[in-house]
Chains A and B, each alone.
Chain A
Amino acid sequence: MKDDLAIDVRGITKRFGDRTVVNDIALQVRRGEIYGFLGPNGSGKTTFLRMLCGLLTPDAGSGTCLGFDLRTRAGEIKKHVGYMTQRFSFYEDLSIEENLDFIARIYGVAGRREAVNRSLEALGLAARRRQLAGQLSGGWKQRLALAACMIHQPALLLLDEPTAGVDPKARRDFWEEIHRLAAEGLTVLITTHYMDEAERCHRLAYIAYGNLLTRGTAAEVVAAAGLTTWEVSGPGLWELAESLRGRPGVEQVVAFGNTLHVSGRDAAALAAVAGEFSAAGRAWRRVESGLEDVFISLMETARDNWAA
């Protein structure tokens, strides 16, 4: 049973000075799973990833990564983990091929030249192998980074906001690739801000101000939040939004195109508000809460609890 877990950590805590960046996080990720890690900026996602791959030492907590103890076997973990940083962190003054070759040498990849060639072919960069990495566009840099952290065929891939600033087509291709790799048995832990990407993950965790607030499949996360959402359409929505904020039961009011999403956890109170404001040609309709509604609600609550 234990062997099924690529990541199994408990109580992971990291403090910078007197600021707790990651607070008592436990996480279990099964092998072959794509695990989404969501949360606002500065919530501790990157710090958590860095602790998993041995870049930072946790102040408290323990566990294993690929079966190796997080604290004592960082060297072994590094050999079998591919870590893609948020910012492009390969050498801009080396060519695509030279970057791949360097990483392959560092990991001691057997049959290095073939591995580099295979990687270049798979990337579709074989023709541009001599181009300097610094001259690549954002999308190509991201593909190069992915190829580079896959070259030693890791068992676990840690991706820190890999699709930030990448166009939709490239993002879709990227996710196709991730799913293909996961099907082959690779475990992927990925941080993202995009809701459509969150829904592409097998399971999710949401972290804010260093605390893990919820986890599970997308459906489980939505269900666990216990959020009720009403969609309002009609005239004068902006004015309506202003008067709805602060009403009992109304936790968030968000404009979605020509409609308004009004959510709250107290379904009865919210229904009362809907009744009160349903005049003047406005239509109120109960809808399924989306992940985004849930996450925004979680973030607001978390801010009230920890950031005060």
Chain B
Amino acid sequence: MTSHAFNLRRFWAVVVKEFIQMRRDRLTFGMMVGIPLLQLILFGFAINMNPKHLPTAVRVADPSPFARSLIWSLRNSDYFAITEVVATEAELRERLKQGRVQFGLTIPEDFARRLLRGERPALLLEADATDPAATSYAVAALTTLAETVFDRDLQGPHATLRAKPGPVEVRIHRLYNPDIITQFNVVPGLLGVVLTMTMVIITALAITRERERGTMENLLATPVRPGEVMIGKLIPYILVGYVQVTLILLAARFLFDVPMLGSVPLLLAVILAFIAANLAMGITFSTLAHNQLQAVQMAFFYFLPNILLSGFMFPFRGMPVWAQWIGEVLPLTHFIRIVRGIALKGNGVPDILPDLWPIGLFVVVMLSVAINRYRQTLD
């Protein structure tokens, strides 16, 4: 009954074979390196959740020193780029409708007079809020700015019109990413996204390919055991995963200046668990799929909730509870928290444990599903 135990020799035979096949398959290997690079460029350079210099049209119905001060400080705030000055409300609306500007600011008639009379005149900021994310930081910036922008103009007897401090002082410390740099959030998350995308697809193809090419029949007729085939197939891809990790970490450090406050060896160790989770998922797909096309489709189906519900793209806490529950099942959700924690917060082992065990559990469950599903026979 020795053939029922895990046999290192047969396991190693599978590992050697997989390495040779991987070496021969240049296209796939190229993709494994190309995908992280492409995503780094797309997400790292192209995505900015805190957009600045948004085109703004201004209608000044009351040209006064106050209007000049306001426009001057808008320009200085970095959020607004005043691209047009229009004469009528209709023109302003049209530009917003056509999407030529993100904001339309109206300084109404009698603004200066009513301001000096203490009537609290309204400044109207119309925002194209079709994309809430694009407008929210700028809107917040204007609100703050309006409190103090006229202080210089309100001298002498008018000084009483300046905004009075509220009963409490609110102090805000933006910890871990004080300058709200999107890359600091995206690039560590990208580490998880790239691994999820490539590791799942490539392993989903691994066993399906054997079945499609007819080599599975041969493999099943030999004494090789399911565990030996599965784990043997995974080893080369773990190495590929680390090649990707190295690429992304180097880019994070030298291209995007993402801080690395925590321990790199700890991160690399966590990555091993995360890669294992994705490989286990991929292998499970490959035991379910009948051909390579189905395997790729399953991998894509899996990829979608990972991108949307893991907290990579959208704030996790902004999701309804049911979506958060789905998110909690995905290893990517936990991995992204761990990576951001280690890189930006300097988290150590005790801090990441709550997110580490779910990944471990996922590996165990998926791998046992896979090994059960991998049939020793063709039945």
Given A87-B214, A93-B25; A55-B221 close (CB under 8 Å): yes
Within 8 A of A (CB), among B1-43: 1, 3-4, 7, 9-10, 12-13, 16-17, 20-21, 24-25
The residues of B that contact A193 with a CB separation of less than 8 Å are: none
A94 at the interface (CB under 8 A from B): yes
Whole-angstrom CA separation of A85 from B167 in the bound complex: 85
A72 — nearest CB in chain B belongs to which residue? B1
Interface size for B (C-beta < 8 A) is: 29
Q: Is A57 positioned at the interface, with any CB of B under 8 Å from its CB? A: yes
Instruction: Find out whether the CB atom of A89 lies under 8 angstroms from the CB atom of B378.
Output: no
Query: Are the C-beta atoms of B223 and A102 separated by less than 8 Å?
Result: no
Residues of B within 8 A of A78 (CB): 3, 221-223
Q: Are A75 and B377 in contact (CB under 8 A)?
A: no
B224 within 8 Å of A (CB atoms): yes
In the assembly, what is the distance between CA of A91 and CA of B224, in Å?
A: 16
B residues within 8 A CB of A53? 221
* Min C-beta distance of A257 to chain B, whole Å: 38
Asked if B379 CB lies within 8 Å of chain A CBs, one says yes
Residue-wise, chain A 113-124 has the 8 Å CB interface mask toward B (1 for contact) of 000000000000
- In whole angstroms, what is the CA distance A139 to B223 when docked? 27
Provide the residues of chain B in CB contact with A108, threshold 8 Å: 7, 9-10
Which A residues touch B1, using CB under 8 A?
A: 75
| Cβ contact within 8 Å between A90 and B379 | no
| Residue A81 is within 8 A (CB to CB) of chain B in the complex | yes
Q: Are A89 and B223 in contact (CB under 8 A)?
A: no
Smallest CB separation, B376 vs chain A (Å): 8
Number of interface residues of A (CB under 8 A): 30
A89→B20 contact, CB < 8 A: no
Within 8 A of B (CB), among A55-87: 55-57, 74-76, 78-79, 81, 83, 85, 87
C-alpha gap A192/B39 in the complex (Å): 54
A162 within 8 A of partner (CB): no
B260 to chain A, nearest CB (A): 39
Contact between A106 and B214 (Cβ–Cβ < 8 Å)? no
**Interface contact A106-B224, CB-CB below 8 Å:** yes
Complex Cα distance, B218 from A81, in Å, reads: 12
Q: Does B153 contact A (CB under 8 A)?
A: no
Beyond A55-B378, A57-B377, is A89–B13 a contact (Cβ under 8 Å)? no
| A89 & B3 in contact (Cβ 8 Å cutoff) | no
Contact of A107 with B21 at beta-carbon distance under 8 Å, contacts A54-B377, A75-B1 already known: no
B218 to chain A, nearest CB (A): 4
B351: interface (CB < 8 Å):
no
Q: How far is the CA of A78 from the CA of B17 in the complex (A)?
A: 20
Report the minimal beta-carbon distance from A245 to chain B, rounded to whole angstroms: 41
A88 to B217, alpha carbons, bound, how many Å? Answer: 10
Q: Name the residue in A57, A79, A101, A102 with the highest tally of chain B Cβ atoms < 10 Å from its Cβ.
A: A102
Contacts of B17 on A, CB cut-off 8 Å?
91, 94, 98, 102
Complex Cα spacing A241 to B1, Å: 61
Which residue of chain A is the closest to B228 with respect to CB atoms? A106
> Is the CB–CB distance between A106 and B13 below 8 Å?
yes
- Give the A-B contact count at a CB cut-off of 8 A: 78
| Contact A94–B223 (Cβ < 8 Å) | no
Q: Is A179 an interface residue (CB 8 A)?
A: no
B222 touches A106 (CB 8 A): yes
When distances are taken between beta carbons in the complex, the residues of chain A under 8 Å from B221 are 53-55, 78, 81, 83, 85
State which residues 89-113 of A face B: CB under 8 Å. Answer: 89-94, 98, 101-103, 105-108
The distance from the CB of A77 to the nearest CB of chain B, in whole angstroms, is 9
Q: Would you call A129 an interface residue if the criterion is a C-beta within 8 Å of the partner chain's C-beta atoms?
A: no
* Cβ contact within 8 Å between B222 and A75: no
**B372 CB-CB contact with A under 8 Å:** no
Which of A57, A92, A98, A105 has the most B CB atoms < 10 Å from its CB?
Answer: A105
Q: Does A79 contact B223, Cβ atoms closer than 8 Å?
A: yes
Contact status of A94 and B21, CB under 8 A, knowing A55-B220, A85-B214, A105-B12: yes
Chain A residues lying within 8 Å of B223, measured Cβ to Cβ, are 75, 78-79, 106-107
Are A56's CB and B16's CB within 8 A?
A: no
In the assembled complex, A50 has its CB within 8 A of some CB on chain B = yes
Contact flag A89-B377 (CB < 8 Å), given A94-B20, A106-B224 = no
Name the distance in Å between B305's Cβ and chain A's nearest Cβ. 34
Identity of the chain A residue whose Cβ is nearest the Cβ of B222 in the assembled complex: A106
Q: Say whether, besides A89-B217, A93-B21, A108-B9, A102 and B16 are in contact (CB < 8 Å).
A: yes
User: In whole angstroms, what is the CA distance A75 to B7 when docked?
Assistant: 13
Contact among B9, B20, B24, B220 for A105, CB-based, below 8 A? B9
* Interchain CB contact under 8 A, B217 and A75: no
Closest to B10 in A: A106
Residues of B within 8 A of A76 (CB): 3
Chain B, 198-241, contact with A by CB distance < 8 Å: what is the 0/1 string? Answer: 00000000000000011111101111100000000000000000
Min Cβ gap B203→A in Å is 17
How far apart sit A83 and B16, CA to CA, in the bound complex (Å)?
23
Measured between beta carbons, the chain A residues less than 8 angstroms from B217 are 55, 85, 89
Of listed B1, B3, B221, residue having the most chain A CB within 10 A: B221
User: Does A107 lie within 8 Å of B222, measured CB to CB?
Assistant: yes
Please name all residues of chain A whose beta carbon is closer than 8 Å to the beta carbon of B21 when the two chains form the complex: 91, 93-94
Task: Decide: A102 and B377 in contact? CB cutoff 8 A.
Answer: no
CA distance A39 to B212 in the complex (A): 26
Q: Which of chain B's residues has its CB closest to A103's CB?
A: B222
B151 to A: closest C-beta gap in Å: 74
For the complex with contacts A54-B376, A107-B222, A108-B10, 15 further pairs of A-B residues with Cβ separation under 8 Å are A50-B378, A54-B221, A55-B217, A55-B220, A55-B378, A56-B377, A56-B378, A56-B379, A75-B1, A89-B216, A91-B17, A91-B215, A94-B20, A94-B21, A108-B7
A residues neighboring B (CB under 8 Å)? 50, 53-57, 74-76, 78-79, 81, 83, 85, 87-94, 98, 101-103, 105-108
Can you list 26 A-B pairs, Cβ within 8 angstroms, ordered by A? A54-B376, A55-B217, A55-B377, A56-B378, A57-B379, A75-B223, A76-B3, A78-B222, A79-B3, A79-B223, A85-B218, A87-B214, A89-B213, A89-B214, A89-B217, A90-B215, A93-B21, A93-B24, A102-B13, A103-B222, A105-B9, A105-B10, A105-B12, A105-B16, A108-B9, A108-B10
* 6 closest residue pairs by CB, A with B: A105-B13, A75-B3, A89-B218, A83-B221, A89-B214, A78-B223
